[in-house]
Structure 1
């Protein structure tokens, strides 16, 4: 981008405890300002933004009674896809994208995933603008019991694991959904409810220990994903202003690992 041109990305926060985490500092490293807003204040169109992030939350993507801003968020997701505005949906945000585009999401489906879990890339990821930079297998932070059970028509399935087959997908040219949490580090588990996890037969101390052990690899994969998405956002911002995001700005001087 040209010097002095601010690249701004909208982050929609669906729950007070499901904010952007480490993403603002990572986007700042990439020369991008992340603007976080509550779901109730978010627009239903992506106009004026270089990209959009849809963050997590503890409800289903069509739970409009509990979260009355969800219809506008689904409209925002549909419009971003239609207009070619880069979008990254995280956990609930991925489910919002899938549902808005004609996929299916089921509540309390399959095995809950909590703490550090491993996901594996599918063959389709080899040419994806984001996922081609990631290792074939990498650890991530998970915290969900709802799942995308059918992808929208035309979606590209990018990553999976046994507990949750849809871990990542792309819709259109530049909209992605990930079931896992690249914004969350191992310290996020310090805020989790030990009694609730015990009710699921899980030991919070053990979950924390495993997440801390996996943190270096988890952070590296998440950082590469964010760097790749930031490059897509800069490219889109450049196309709107007529200024190309030249190679001197790509990846903020360092390419993600291959």
Structure 2
């Protein structure tokens, strides 16, 4: 089969490696079945062709699409520009795409929706997602429990459903937890690859990045381990199975 293109944007090596291992393990992929590009350390390969890949998976990271361009970290600005450069072809040709957390901001921004910190930011931890009527008919969501918990932690969010998108999963704090554009372009606000162990590592790594008060890190870790977050990985597995063929 064609490999999946995995684009990562976490400058912290430990967090990036942990996310990559989670994508492989939870998605049922081997390293031979993916092409990993760490955009904080390298640009997109010259001459990259989306036709060479089964699909594109974009991970999360500390950057925000809505940050002021005048003060945005230059590396984060370059990463954002490179991912956005792929979005016209992805959306026009309906290339299989799974944007995780940061990826929903990228998709929303590309489609002209407001992505901002005005509403719907969520603290680090589990949140209960609900399947919408459209979600119940979607191949990545159909048959999942009507409500299940997922791990989140984000400062910005899509403020309204982007034009042309289908609303698949919702939560009380943030209504747009999963959306689809066309038939194959997906994005989640939560982290479908993350279990409690993955989130524990991220909490330790990002404890001074402004997501939460540093002194609450141990309580957050305990909360994550006490949570029942097992369903979201099925969405990632289904994406890989559906498009990896």
Q: What band does the TM-score fall into relative to the shorter chain?
A: 0.7 to 0.9
TM-score w.r.t. length of structure 1: 0.77
Aligned residue number for residue 58 of structure 2: 54
Contact 2:123-2:212 at 8 Å conserved across structures = no
SS at match of 1:203: helix
SS at match of 1:41: coil
Bigger Rg, structure 1 or 2: 1
Larger mean CA deviation between 41-50 and 144-153 belongs to: 41-50
Aligned residue number for residue 27 of structure 2: 27
Aligned residue number for residue 41 of structure 1: 43
Q: Supply the distance in 1 between the matched residues of 2:200 and 2:85 (Cα, whole angstroms).
A: 32
Contact 1:142-1:180 at 8 Å conserved across structures = yes
- The answer for unaligned runs of 5 or more in structure 1 is 1-5, 236-258
Q: Supply the distance in 2 between the matched residues of 1:98 and 1:20 (Cα, whole angstroms).
A: 24
What pairs with 1:105-116 in structure 2 (closer than 5 Å)? 105-107=115-117, 109-116=119-126
Deviation at 1:197, TM superposition (A): 5.8
Segments ≥4 residues shifted beyond 6 Å: none
Larger mean CA deviation between 59-68 and 121-130 belongs to: 59-68
- The answer for unaligned runs of 5 or more in structure 2 is none
Aligned residue number for residue 236 of structure 2: 226
Q: Of 182, 207, 220, which residue of structure 2 is paired with 1:172?
A: 182
SS at match of 2:64: coil
Aligned residue number for residue 242 of structure 1: none
Contact 2:97-2:186 at 8 Å conserved across structures = yes
What pairs with 1:43-192 in structure 2 (closer than 5 Å)? 46-61=50-65, 63=67, 65-66=72-73, 67=76, 68-107=78-117, 109-187=119-197, 188-192=199-203
Say if 1:213 and 1:84 are closer, same or farther in 2 by CA, change over 3 A: same
Q: Of 208, 221, 224, which residue of structure 2 is paired with 1:211?
A: 224
Q: Supply the distance in 2 between the matched residues of 1:82 and 1:231 (Cα, whole angstroms).
A: 23
TM-score w.r.t. length of structure 2: 0.81
Say if 1:227 and 1:197 are closer, same or farther in 2 by CA, change over 3 A: closer
Contact 1:86-1:232 at 8 Å conserved across structures = no
Q: Supply the distance in 2 between the matched residues of 1:110 and 1:227 (Cα, whole angstroms).
A: 27
Q: Supply the distance in 2 between the matched residues of 1:32 and 1:104 (Cα, whole angstroms).
A: 37
Contact 1:20-1:183 at 8 Å conserved across structures = no
Aligned residue number for residue 7 of structure 1: 2
Deviation at 1:96, TM superposition (A): 0.3
In angstroms, what is the RMSD of aligned CA positions? 2.6
